[in-house]
């Protein structure tokens, strides 16, 4: 086998990592090296230069695979054992050198490291842990580390990974268990859930109050997972129901959604076309409503239905529940205000501050928000009532984005 240069390895293994959406740098323990010790910082993302991937994603982490060799044959994965792709593998030392080099050049804020399965799950997990351990203990690296957990690895290795990483993620991949069994037969749904449960217990034990001995930091930024959208026939309601269940059972920080992308030499069991990217976007919006706006999944979409693609989920809910509007912004509580299309958490909190001093007017709303025309049918202020605007039959058409001409090139 020809020896690959470090640059060529980086090209291959960074490209191979782009299919994993579940990387983020939020929620880590605050660390810095301003005292003259160590390398790196996670405080506020200071000094981070963000780069943009070809698909438009903003990346502030060195996002790579340790290797794209894999003994598994997951039908939806471009790195499966039967795939005809160029293979590469980093050594532990190479990953550490790249991470430190990029950080010192102000390119990144940390490392997101995943891997194909080589030799065995335990061997692969050992190598991932060695990277994090070397960065922390040998180089005193204080930046952000996100490790992908191999669910079939020994619990002791998973626990060790969580002691060195800020966040760990275990991808459940598909919203339906039977789809995972059919498309990724080597993966065990029960094993994935068991590993996620073990991480949750570790996180909770580390945060437990009243302990006499202070527990070591255990994945302080929690855990996340990823669901592939469009690889099977699961509708959006079923996908969000799975997310709802995962949030409740494992206290996940985030569920990430990744639109299925057709891969070379794929099986006939997979669709030939990817779903529209706006579907992925709508799922993120609906997920945000569940996590930050107090919506239940059943309010947003029924289990067997899809989200509307033309309008966002909050506007779709409001149009179906016009009896809840118009809402008087001077008397409504915070939970009610958060359900108004076009009002975000910051806008609502600022309005609550203003109305302690004076009655909110339409001009106040204009100043504190964006897109006043979208708000007007759903609100009442000291100087505005929508009259019959809320119940207009053509309200959806008035508020929906105008259609755009598709481009040929």
According to DSSP, the residues that pair with 223 across neighbouring strands are: 168
Q: What is the distance of C-alpha 27 from the center of its chain?
A: 13
Tell me what the mean pLDDT of segment 34-46 comes to. 46
Sign of CA dihedral 243, 244, 248, 249: negative
Per-residue confidence band for 304, with pLDDT thresholds at 50, 70 and 90: very high
Tell me what the mean pLDDT of segment 117-144 comes to. 94
Count the Cβ atoms, other than its own, within 10 Å of residue 185.
12
Report CA dihedral (359, 365, 367, 368) to the nearest 10 degrees.
100
Q: What is the pLDDT of residues 44-72, one digit of tens each?
A: 332 233 444 444 545 578 889 999 999 99
Q: What is the pLDDT of residues 66-96, one digit of tens each?
A: 999 999 998 888 888 988 889 999 999 999 9
Sign of CA dihedral 283, 286, 290, 295: negative
Domain 6-259 superfamily per CATH = Aldolase class I (3.20.20.70)
Q: What is the pLDDT of residues 332-388, one digit of tens each?
A: 999 999 999 999 999 999 999 999 999 999 999 999 998 898 999 999 999 999 999
Instruction: Copy the structure tokens of residue 140.
Output: 């005193």
Q: C-alpha angle with apex 246: 245 to 247, nearest 5 degrees? A: 95
According to DSSP, the residues that pair with 381 across neighbouring strands are: 384
Per-residue confidence band for 289, with pLDDT thresholds at 50, 70 and 90: very high
pTM of the entire predicted model: 0.85
Question: To the nearest whole number, what is the mean pLDDT of the chain?
Answer: 86
The more confident residue out of 205 and 398 is 398
Judge whether 129 and 168 are in contact, CB under 8 Å. no
Alpha-helical (H) ranges within 3-78 are 6-16
Domain residue ranges in the chain: 6-259, 322-399
**Is 36 a residue whose pLDDT tops 70?**
no
Tell me what the mean pLDDT of segment 29-40 comes to. 50
Distance CA 146, CA 166 (A): 6
- Among the listed residues 269, 263, 266, the one whose alpha carbon sits nearest the alpha carbon of residue 183: 269
Q: What is the pLDDT of residues 209-250, one digit of tens each?
A: 655 544 457 888 889 999 999 989 999 999 999 999 999 999
Question: What is the chain's length?
Answer: 409
Instruction: Copy the structure tokens of residue 372.
Output: 């006043």
């Amino acid at each position: 086998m020809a020896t690959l240069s470090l640059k060529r390895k980086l090209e291959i293994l960074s490209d191979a990592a782009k299919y994993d959406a579940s990387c983020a740098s939020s929620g880590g323990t605050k660390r810095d090296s301003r005292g003259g010790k160590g390398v790196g910082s996670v405080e506020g993302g200071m000094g981070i230069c963000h780069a943009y991937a070809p698909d438009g994603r903003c990346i502030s982490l060195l996002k790579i695979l340790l290797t794209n060799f894999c003994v598994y044959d997951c039908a939806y994965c471009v790195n499966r054992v039967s795939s005809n792709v160029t293979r590469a593998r980093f050594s532990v030392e190479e990953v550490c050198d790249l991470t430190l080099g990029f950080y010192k050049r102000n390119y990144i804020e940390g490392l997101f490291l995943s891997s194909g399965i080589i030799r065995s799950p335990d061997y692969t997990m050992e190598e991932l842990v060695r990277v994090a351990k070397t960065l922390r203990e040998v180089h005193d690296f204080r930046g952000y580390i996100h490790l992908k957990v191999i669910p079939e690895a020994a619990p002791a290795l998973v626990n060790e990974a969580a002691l060195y990483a800020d966040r760990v993620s275990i991808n459940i991949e598909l919203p339906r268990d039977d789809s995972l069994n059919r498309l990724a037969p080597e993966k065990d749904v029960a094993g994935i859930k068991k590993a996620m449960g073990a991480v949750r217990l570790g996180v909770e034990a580390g945060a437990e109050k009243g302990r006499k001995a202070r527990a070591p930091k255990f994945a302080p930024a929690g855990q996340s997972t990823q669901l592939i959208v469009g690889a099977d026939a699961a509708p959006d309601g079923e996908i969000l129901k799975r997310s709802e269940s995962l949030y409740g059972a494992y206290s996940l920080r985030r569920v990430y959604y990744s639109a299925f992308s057709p891969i070379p030499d794929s099986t006939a069991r997979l669709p030939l076309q990817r779903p529209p990217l706006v579907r992925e976007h709508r799922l993120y919006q609906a997920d945000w409503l569940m996590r930050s706006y107090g919506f239940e999944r059943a309010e947003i979409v029924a289990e067997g239905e899809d989200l509307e693609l033309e309008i966002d989920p909050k506007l779709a809910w409001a149009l179906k529940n016009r009896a809840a509007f118009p809402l008087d912004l001077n008397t409504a509580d915070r939970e009610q205000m958060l359900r108004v299309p076009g009002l975000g958490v910051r806008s609502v909190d600022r309005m609550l501050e203003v109305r302690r001093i004076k009655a909110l007017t339409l001009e106040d709303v204009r100043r504190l928000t964006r897109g006043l025309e979208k708000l007007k049918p759903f609100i009442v202020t000291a100087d505005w009532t929508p009259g019959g605007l809320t119940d207009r039959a053509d309200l959806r058409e008035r508020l929906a984005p105008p259609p755009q001409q598709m481009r040929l090139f």
